Amino acid sequence: MGEIHNRIAVLRVERGMSRKDLAAAVGVNFQTIGYLERGEYSPSLELALKLAELFEVPVEQLFSLRPFVPLSKQLSQGGNQSGGGGS
């Protein structure tokens, strides 16, 4: 199985949450959040949906099979807000 890319760290920091805060909110160990952020662990469907709901974003804005285009590059291109998950 290929690598799953995510924006968990970006969204967590943007909301002023620690890994422990985020872990408690979705019911996992804080180390799991670190593994997810580093791409060392792929979430279950349930966990992916919980994270997307917590961050109030569609799951495809949080996870992708392809690397996400950096937000700064998207903004400079006037660009595509959909990230790396599109076809």
Delimit the domains of the chain by residue range: 5-76
Express each pLDDT in 20-36 by its tens digit: 999 999 999 999 999 99
How confident is the model at residue 76, as a pLDDT?
A: 79
5-76 folds as 434 Repressor (Amino-terminal Domain) (1.10.260)
What token pair was written down for 49? Answer: 């949906």
How confident is the model at residue 13, as a pLDDT?
A: 96
More confident of the two residues 18 and 74: 18
Contacts of 16 (CB under 8 A, 6+ apart): none
Please say whether the dihedral angle defined by the alpha carbons of residues 54, 56, 59 and 64, taken in this order, is positive or negative: negative
Answering whether pTM is above 0.85, one says no
Query: In sequence order, what E strands does the chain have?
Result: 5-6, 63-64
